[in-house]
Amino acid sequence: MTHADLRVVMIVANDVTNDSRVRKEAAALAETGAEVTVLGVSASGLPSREMLDGALIVRVAVPFALREERRRSRKARRDWRPPFVGYRYRGTYVARDQRIDVGLQELKAESGHAIAAAKAGKGNPIKYKLGVGGRLLRRTRWQAARKATWVRKGVGNKVDVPFKFSWRAYDGVIHRMPWPAPWRKLHPEALDLELAFGDLIDRLEPDVVHAHDMHVIGVATRAAGRAKLRGKDLKVVYDAHEYVAGLSQYGARTRRSIAAWANHEAEYINAVDRVVTVSPAIARTLKKDHHLDREPTVIMNTPNPADVSVEVSDIRSRIGLESEVALLVYSGGVTRARGIHTAIEALVDMPEVHLAIVCVPGVATDAVKELQTQAADLGVDERLHCLDPVEPDEVVAFLRTADVGLIPILRYPSHEMALPNKLFEYAFAGLPVVVSDMPSMKEFVDRTRIGEVFVAADAHDLASKVRMVLGDLDSYREKVADPGYQQEVSWAGQADKLRGLYGELVGRTLERVQPGGRVEKKQKRLLIGPVNSAGQAWLWATALEREVPGLVAESLTTGSGAFDFRVHRTGSYRQYRSDLRWQLELTAYVLREVTHVLLEAGRPMFGQQRGQMFNIDIPILEQAGIKHGLIFHGSEIRDPSLHRAKYRYSPFRDPDDELSQRLQSANDLLRTQLDVYEGPVYVTTPDLLEFVDNSIWLPLAVDVDKFASTQPVLDREVPVVLHAPSASALKGSAYVDPVLTDLDARGLIKYQRVQGLPHSELAEMVRSADIVVDQLLLGSYGVFACESMAAGRVTVGHVADPVRDLLPTGLPIVEANPDDLSEVIERLISERDPARKVADAAPEYVRELHDGRRSVEVLRPFITGER
């Protein structure tokens, strides 16, 4: 894994995907080789990770519990009424009314049955009359209940009027008051973000935390404070995307709400190390308002030409408009404050002009419906086109066939200081602009002469300025295309300023080492993990590197390290389970460098919490275009119930056994994910082909030369018999131990039983043994048997006939089972020549199937895409 000289964590209260500023700044820093992690909020509610523009994006599931509790308690206060006055919920009244209807219907039914019985001469006349009286009484009670219900509802409706009026009046007053506006009370979501991001930042231990917008400035500065307790100087950069105190008001964004966010910003802004913002006017105002030591650095939100995609349709084609028809475009958020209604009104004065609105977040919003209604009322709806947005890197190319770009925003303090991103998107699309007379925009447009400025909210003036631009369109387009202007609005210069600011913070120059932020994967790179069971991932990887030109292959283990199997990359069990920094470093490495991944044992690659399986990594890999497959080794996928039914000898004979039940449960869960998995699935022993549908046998690999032995077989009078059960074969060992111990006691063999020995020591014992006893219950053979055969030892084990039938050549393993093991060993000792022939054939068998070459043949199509 890489260990960058500079670690940066950016935090933002959105899901990052459509936030071009966050993505561009992250990419600008990633270009220097810095390790950039962006923490955002998952829009879907599910956590996710992906690599975007050279930075690792981690979307966190934020429940916003504090915000929801405030909403709940606020609603409860407004819903309170005196006891027994009205019904809190309309459904309660409806249910009560229907319950009365049911009661009255039941009375009618009872009356009908009673009258019919009396006419038929059945029953007691006295009992009948008593029943009539009782039903009359119950009917009176139900009718009284209906009246009481109606009265209670009516009283509630009457009482609702003053209560609702009072709350509306209160809200009307309180929301206009900029003081008091305590942000902790009004915006508890800022604390929800602390709960979501704070611990992650601490665990990532960055050098700089970059807070995007006012929602997370407190999270960043508190993280810096905690870092000081650990003796670390964590730098904080605050990126003010807007002038918070002057935000436009609409919907829930009231004057009091805005003041609360401004208070949140004011509480922390003097604790940060650097402030950056989007326009000179905002920079000057922030310095003045908060008495900052230095004026914030201006990094305009201009487009990055490298991000512009041209492989998209254009706006004129999308709406089916001829090239000679004048087309205006507005691209961006749709709210009342954006002034789009002014542009629609101006269409009345421009009968030959069409207007397209690229609506963010989409067309299906109330704000867009209001614009469409307005257009219909004015009779211009046939010339209004509302479109869903395109991807961020497609915006410029999509807009290129329009004639004029509009920014008709209304007068709010934040708008007066803004230089909106769309201003620069229009520039790269080659569009002259018509903008409202907000001071920052007016200054910019007047200086560059790329368009005209109209009086905000004045539809007639907007129409006049549009006609002026359309009347001399070529001249305005020439100014937009001027190389000097294009350089000014390009992101490259802004990125240099950002890198310079970071260089000041960390005390060294940051230079671009990987232009574009995106690391091109110039060669195939495979990662197999996270288990490296019996060193197999290492052996497959080295065999593939040896046989497949241009491939880099690596193995990963996250085990305890008790065995000394070789491996390329390691992580401890603790890191795999809970070390976020280790997990994200691995994730970033894979997404940046790796092209192919093979996940072992049904486990995820990038860290695992309890109950998680491989499927949590699949969306991450697919998003990054990484080809993936699965490898299963045995117990994790071997179905206990099926094994019990198919094999006479099985470690799962007792279905009530705790191990069997645990494996069965895990197996069932794993199969539910396998049922929908579409990648290749490999199994390492042939018996597993019966347990995994459509699986492919990936032969185990052995370092044959490492196990080659010069020790003669069965030359000693008392042969050495070795048994080394794996953790998964301990149950079978219960059948082996008594037999071999008895033979040892009788002086027929020298019995060696080992477990948990380092692999290098075990290899030496295998090479010097005469007979190696493998497992007797699973019905197949594994790595230990292959190593024994590679050493030319007499290998004994139980391999069921259906498994032997699957093999391409005869298997030199002497068959034995729990019932006849003693007899088999005694026969091998007494009839040594046939036993030696089996041992002599074993190394050739291993070279043919298990030296790695056959494994490469199986995996080659996965790597190369060839059949």
Residue 322, phi-psi category: left (phi > 0), alpha (psi -120 to 50), beta (remainder)? beta
* Residue 709 and residue 809 in one domain: yes
Q: Are strands 354-360 and 627-632 parallel, antiparallel or unpaired?
A: unpaired
**CA atoms of 544 and 701, how far apart (whole Å):** 11
* Residue 116 and residue 238 in one domain: no
Q: Which residue has the tokens 């493998």?
A: 774
**CA atoms of 285 and 440, how far apart (whole Å):** 12
Domain assignment present for 743? yes
Domain assignment present for 107? yes
Distances (CA, A) of 746 to 742, 785, 822, 823: 6, 26, 12, 14
* Residue 384 and residue 346 in one domain: yes
Distances (CA, A) of 582 to 2, 52, 535, 578: 11, 19, 22, 9
Confidence tier at 253 by pLDDT (50, 70, 90): confident
pLDDT value for 290? 97
**Contact in structure between 721 and 750 (CB atoms under 8 Å):** yes
**pLDDT of 732 higher than 70:** no
* Residue 111 and residue 162 in one domain: yes
Domain assignment present for 109? yes
* Residue 736 and residue 770 in one domain: yes
* Residue 26 and residue 51 in one domain: yes
pLDDT value for 720? 97
C-beta atoms surrounding 161 within 10 Å: 9
Identify the domain boundary among 645, 671, 697. Answer: 697
User: pLDDT tens across 150-201, in order?
Assistant: 999 999 899 989 988 998 888 888 888 888 999 999 999 999 999 999 999 9
* Residue 632 and residue 686 in one domain: yes
Identify the domain boundary among 149, 174, 199. Answer: 174
pLDDT value for 648? 83
What ranges make up the beta strands (E) of 613-698?
A: 627-632, 681-683, 696-697
**CA atoms of 833 and 220, how far apart (whole Å):** 77
Question: For the whole prediction, is pTM greater than 0.85?
Answer: no
Task: Find the CATH number of the domain harbouring 551.
Answer: 3.40.50
**CA atoms of 709 and 722, how far apart (whole Å):** 15
Radius of gyration of the chain (CA): 38
**Contact in structure between 141 and 220 (CB atoms under 8 Å):** no
**CA atoms of 444 and 446, how far apart (whole Å):** 6
* Residue 35 and residue 108 in one domain: no
Q: Which residue has the tokens 């460098």?
A: 593
Q: Give the domain range for residue 108.
A: 82-174
Identify the domain boundary among 668, 697, 726. Answer: 697
Q: Which residue has the tokens 């699965």?
A: 630
Any idea which of 411-420, 527-536, 668-677 has the lowest mean pLDDT? 411-420
**pLDDT of 697 higher than 90:** yes
Confidence tier at 866 by pLDDT (50, 70, 90): confident
Using DSSP's 3-state secondary structure scheme, residue 599 falls into: strand
Domain assignment present for 493? no
φ, ψ for residue 865, nearest 5 deg: 80, 0
How is residue 803 written in tokens? 């498994």
**CA atoms of 485 and 479, how far apart (whole Å):** 8
Domain assignment present for 516? no
Using DSSP's 3-state secondary structure scheme, residue 444 falls into: helix
How is residue 658 written in tokens? 């705790």
Domain assignment present for 506? no
* Residue 657 and residue 617 in one domain: yes
* Residue 191 and residue 285 in one domain: yes
φ, ψ for residue 547, nearest 5 deg: -100, -25
How is residue 734 written in tokens? 């219960």
Please state the rounded mean pLDDT for residues 771-794.
95
More confident residue, 437 or 661: 437
* Residue 96 and residue 195 in one domain: no
Share of the chain above pLDDT 70, in %: 97
Confidence tier at 2 by pLDDT (50, 70, 90): very low
614-627 burial code (b ≥16 CB/10 A, e <16) = bbbbbebbeebebb
630-665 burial code (b ≥16 CB/10 A, e <16) = bbbbbbbbbbbeebbeebebbbbeeeeeeebeebbe
Domain assignment present for 518? no
pLDDT value for 310? 62
Please state the rounded mean pLDDT for residues 751-764.
87
**CA atoms of 348 and 325, how far apart (whole Å):** 16
**Contact in structure between 186 and 256 (CB atoms under 8 Å):** yes
**CA atoms of 800 and 775, how far apart (whole Å):** 12
Share of the chain above pLDDT 90, in %: 70
Task: Find the CATH number of the domain harbouring 798.
Answer: 3.40.50.2000
**pLDDT of 1 higher than 50:** no
Task: Tell me which range, 408-422, 556-570, 802-816, is most confidently predicted by mean pLDDT.
Answer: 802-816
pLDDT value for 645? 83
**CA atoms of 793 and 567, how far apart (whole Å):** 27
Domain assignment present for 629? yes
User: pLDDT tens across 488-524, in order?
Assistant: 888 888 999 999 999 999 999 999 887 654 556 889 9
* Residue 201 and residue 94 in one domain: no
**CA atoms of 420 and 407, how far apart (whole Å):** 8
C-beta atoms surrounding 671 within 10 Å: 15
The H or E element that residue 216 is part of is none
**pLDDT of 602 higher than 70:** yes
User: pLDDT tens across 614-654, in order?
Assistant: 999 998 899 889 999 999 998 888 888 888 888 888 777 77
Domain count for the chain: 5
φ, ψ for residue 508, nearest 5 deg: -155, 160
